[in-house]
Amino acid sequence: MIRHILCSLFIFFGSICYSQDTNSSNNDITIEEADVPFAVIDEVPVYPGCEGTNNEVLKKCMSDKIGLFVSENFNMKLLESLPLKPGKYRTAVQFKIDKEGSVVDVRARNTNGSIEVEQEAIRVVSLIPKMKPGIQRGKTVGVLYALPIIFEVEPPAKINRRKQQKKSKN
């Protein structure tokens, strides 16, 4: 039985994280920038090929390019080989774009409990090319990014109908 899998990507965002560090030697309080969520960064990381000065344009370009990169590099044959029931499945991937623009700390979790899907998501996201790092308050910072990978396994009857329609067109 062959399963047809559709893969679509959506981007969602987190919330602000800050940490404080108290310097005990002179009782001054210094505020240290923590990793900043993609949704609120002053200047987003710039994906190779994205251009512009508007942060919103750069956010959209980066999101689109990451989505395209993941969909082109995700091993769909792996998904077809797994014993998944028809339905929609979601794998939540989180990662950080560090101060140098590299993708690090990639984690994945999915709804079907398949370690193979999680490992494939981590593999693909780890291949994302190096970017120009994000900037918050004039300093380069790590940027937190979340990427849900959603795919659908269609029932065998629907797949067979689609195959028959293709044959009749030829």
* Higher pLDDT, residue 148 or 80: 148
Q: Model's pTM, two decimal places?
A: 0.69
**CA 147, CA 170: separation in Å to the nearest integer?**
38
What is the residue type of 109?
R
Q: Which residue has the higher pLDDT, 97 or 7?
A: 97
Percent of the chain with pLDDT over 90: 31
> With 50 as the cut, is the pLDDT of residue 4 above it?
no
Q: At a CB cut-off of 8 Å and minimum separation 6, what does 82 contact? A: 114, 116, 117
CA distance 69 to 38: 18
- Whose structure tokens read 């047809």? 4
Which tokens sit at 72?
């082109």
Q: What is the mean pLDDT of the chain?
A: 76
Instruction: Dump pLDDT digits (tens) for 34-78.
Output: 888 888 888 899 999 988 878 889 999 999 999 999 999 998 888
Distance CA 72, CA 128 (A): 11
Distance CA 170, CA 167 (A): 5
